[in-house]
Chain A
Amino acid sequence: MRLPRPGVTALPADPEPLLPNACFVWLAAALALAMLPHLLLHLPAWFWLVFSGMVTWRGLVCTGRLRLPSRWPLSGLTLLIISLVALQYKTLFGRDAGTALLAAMVSLKFLELRTLRDGMVLLFMGYLLVMAVLLYDQSLLLAAGLTLVLAGLLAAHAALQYPATLPALALLRLSCRLLVEAVPVMLILFILFPRIPGPLWGLPKDAYRGLTGMSEEMAPGSVSRLSLSAEVAFRARFTGAMPPAGQLYWRGPVLDRFDGRTWRRSEERLYRQFSYRTEGEAVDYTVILEPHGQRWLPALDLPASLPSETEVSATFQLVRRQPVQEVLRYEMRSYPYYNTGPLQLQGQTQLPAGIDPRARALADEWRSRPLAPGEIVLAALNLFRREPFHYTLEPPLLPEQNSIDAFLFDTRRGFCEHYAGSFVFLLRAAGIPARVVLGYQGGEHNGLGGYLIVRQSDAHAWAEVWLEGQGWVRVDPTAAVAPERVERGLYAALDDPDSLPLLARRGQTWLQPLILGWDYLDNAWNEWVLAYGPEQQKQWLSGLGFGPVDWQDMVLAMVAALTGVGLVVIGLQALSRRTATDPVALAYRRFCAKLARAGLVRAGHEGPLAFTGRVAVSRPELAARVRLIGRLYASLRYGPRQEQEAVRRLQRLVRKLKV
């Protein structure tokens, strides 16, 4: 062991400080924390091996059992892992491959971890990892988890800043304090940073993959598949009383084109206003919509207001300009009673020719009896009611050809899309304008927050029929087969309810209070954090009494608020420093301030003679006076007595000093 030497002789400049083992432990732990959500959410399993392998390698270097690889082997390893990523994702660009590359680089950086500076680089990569998680999920639970990860990273940061290893508890306390101290700044930035409609920068296309939601077409099986998911589609809060369950038809895509198997939406013009006659009271409510990657917005039958950036089609479907990629909050007004008047759209009886002869025959038979359009609707409903139809999530497979015939006359087991589709087919074959409406029906009331939770399992399909004098009328053929579906939800109505996920079994489990409580928190998070977009921002700030606010005002307000926080911090510091009212100290401070203005700043550790000696060297013309002040101050501050005369002399000298 070499003994440390006292500082009498000069020493060579220190080399770049190495990363102490204790710091490595902190770094490895914090980075593992930051990596964990990626490993759990999306990275392929072999990444566990890559990351833990590199960290273990570096750990063995700490104990001296291994060496870090030199440049060429490391480059080879890097190339290998990059090609593995490319092989896995078939690309190196986009959200998934990009994040995987970041994770790979973080892992590899461990094999290059020598100095404190390398540690810092790794640490900032860790912060980047935390941000990248948000590309995948922005839920409340994840945000809470990421806060913990941040605390870990900050503790590691502190450990690197003070490599002499403060105790672990002190580092953690410091990181928590930093997090808490950051809250005001975070709030200001969150509330005031100007929001623009749409994302701030273009995200790669695959960033939105995996959003679940209802697509704008319907084929056998498409709705029942969705019904197996308990994920929340949207939540709604009513301003007044909630309408009865039988009226909770959340209108989505309206499908009026049929090709024999799939129902689609016809491209139609969009309007900025509604044209129908309302009857009765309006229902006002707020929808907090989970991102579904589509352009349509759910609204109760029939919508009467347009959220921003949104238009309405001739089929009363709300269509947004941009697909919904983030949580969206909008206010709506609907009228449950309405009359849409005369038929304005063409092609509402369109059917492909030559398919499903048995269904057509039945419709022709009704028409030739002859039955009025209203009576044909009843006849079709009676068909579902009388014959042995079953409501099930797992219907038998239907043939590609003549699937409507197969369902109506052979299998007779189906989900709402089967009933809605075949019902509309029958009516169209009978010459009555009809169409399929996709959407959600019902929802679960959360007493805790007073709002309605609508899950994917509430997805539904029904029919709309145009009748002379009444306009478009909603008819739900599923209700004819399983009336409970509308009144009490899917779980109560199904013949095979056990295939439903737990969360979708409304009110049927002892877990229900817990589920609803959590949903309440989740909704608050959605409503106040994720859905805080341009409109909410403007509304909120205008509500504070600022009148109309544009983004320049917001930038101004943000800068002002941040400046305010800064001033408060500076003020608090100055207050704690300026506690002494000792005249000698004050005079000396004034003296130092005068010199500081001339660029001669006293270092914190400089004593009076050292400081004045330094000043005397750099400003020879001041030397005599400055040295005198230094000696006088030193004797007043460090001598046995303070004589009033000497104090006054010091004050005089400082006052007269011109720098």
Chain B
Amino acid sequence: MPVPPSNIVSLDQHARLDTVVAQVGTAILGKEHAIRLALACLLARGHLLIEDLPGMGKTILAHAFAQTLGLHYQRIQFTSDLLPADILGAAIYERQQGTFVFHPGPIFAQVVLADEINRATPKTQSALLEAMEEHQVTVEGETRDLPSPFFVIATQNPIDQVGTFPLPESQLDRFLMRIELGYPDVAAERVLLQGRDRRELLAQFPVCLPPAELMAIQSVVSTIHAAPALLDYLQGLLAFSRQSGLFRNGLSPRAGLALLRAARAWVLLDRREHVLPEDIQTVLPAVVGHRLHPADAYLEQSSSALLEKLLRSVGVPA
């Protein structure tokens, strides 16, 4: 079957994407699905929220991606006294030149790891989130573009909630996906314990996919075909989330767009040409998990069980 002209992702690029997954997989062992989701999120030009306990490899994951893709990497540790200027940068008076000179903050990087984002005050959080959304920063009335590609990986600690500012729903919505890494399985952990230090390993990672090619692939994602039948199915899911009464609020149109974008990126990673219901189903937990809340908190039904119910309740038309 001839490949449609717009879908130009060469076999070579496909192979390189697989190499990216494989190389990051040597740093984070036994988490291929999470890595592929994270890569799909990157390809879809979305930002990623990782919710997990400390020590699960969040930093390693971000670093490994930056290294493998040859991207400039910055880590920001969020604390309660972090100010917006600490992230965005500030104009500082230079005595010798007699002018204000802008000193860019750590956000001027291609991969930004925002560690423990819920520790900062809402003001600081919103500075980061605005930058994520706009892909630019305005300081002292001057707008500066952020580098491209631009990929934020934020982390949240789900358990330690003392003195934190949980992200409100409207802010959570800015993240295309939310995943958790979880504990490795026994075999993976054994390899981890036997292997070399992860940081040493990372330093030796070769660049597998140069930034220019990454951006080319990103631009292909939106051209992947979504048939009317697929859109019917997607709308069925959206409608069910709104009408079933299972959730406090149904999925927003933005959530629908996010689902489609993520599914397209997933299709590309899977070397196929059009989106299938299965692709939507695969990315759905990561894409909508942080956008939906059980209608009845008393039910104590885990949100993943509700998502399962959502998926099972909406039929794929023949």
Residues of A within 8 A of B (CB): 1-9, 11, 14, 17-18, 20-22, 162-167, 580, 585, 588-589, 592, 603-610, 634-635, 637-640
Contacts and interface: CB of A to CB of B under 8 A. Distances in A.
Contacts of A4: 289, 293-294, 302-304
Nearest to B178: A6
A257 B226 CA distance: 98
User: A-B pairs with the 7 shortest C-beta distances?
Assistant: A4-B303, A6-B289, A7-B304, A604-B315, A7-B285, A607-B277, A607-B278
Interface in B95-148: none
B274 A638 contact: yes
B318 A607 contact: no
**Interface range, B side:** 35 or more
Contact of A5 (B180, B247, B299): B180
B206 interface: no
24 contacts: A4-B304, A5-B158, A6-B286, A6-B290, A6-B307, A7-B285, A7-B307, A8-B180, A8-B285, A8-B286, A11-B304, A164-B244, A164-B246, A164-B247, A164-B296, A165-B245, A604-B314, A605-B313, A608-B276, A610-B278, A638-B229, A638-B275, A639-B273, A640-B274
B209 interface: no
A608 to B, nearest CB: 7
Contacts of A635: 1, 273-274
Contacts of A589: 318
A20 B281 CA distance: 29
Nearest to A590: B318
B21 to A, nearest CB: 16
Contacts of A609: 276, 278
B162 interface: no
A470 to B, nearest CB: 82
A14 B225 contact: no
Given A6-B178, A163-B296, A639-B274, A605 B311 contact: yes
Contacts of A637: 227, 229
B262 interface: no
Nearest to B290: A6
B304 A5 contact: yes
A1 B294 CA distance: 13
Contacts of A1: 161
Nearest to B172: A3
Contacts of A3: 51, 156, 158, 166
A20 B180 contact: no
B179 interface: yes
Contacts of A607: 276-278, 281, 316
Contact of A20 (B34, B230, B278, B296): B296
Given A6-B285, A7-B307, A606-B316, A17 B274 contact: no
Contacts of A585: 317-318
Contacts of A11: 302, 304-305
Interface string B154-166: 0010100100001
B230 A638 contact: yes
Interface in B261-318: 273-278, 281, 285-286, 289-290, 293-296, 298-305, 307-308, 311-318
B54 interface: no
Nearest to A588: B318
Given A7-B304, A11-B305, A589-B318, A605 B312 contact: yes
Contacts of A603: 312
Contacts of A163: 296, 299
Nearest to A167: B245
B182 interface: yes
Nearest to A2: B158
Contact of B308 (A2, A5, A7): A7
B190 interface: no
A143 B268 CA distance: 65
Contacts of B199: none
Contact of A21 (B293, B298, B313): B298
B223 to A, nearest CB: 11
Nearest to B33: A8
Contacts of B316: 604-608
A8 B303 CA distance: 12
Contacts of B180: 5-6, 8-9
B1, B51, B311: residue with the most chain A Cβ atoms closer than 10 Å: B1
Nearest to A13: B305
B195 interface: no
Contact of A639 (B161, B227, B285, B293): B227
Given A22-B296, A635-B274, 10 more contacts: A3-B158, A4-B303, A6-B179, A18-B299, A165-B295, A580-B318, A604-B316, A610-B278, A638-B225, A638-B226
A164 to B, nearest CB: 4
B4 A640 contact: yes
A588 B314 CA distance: 18
A609 to B, nearest CB: 5
A149 to B, nearest CB: 25
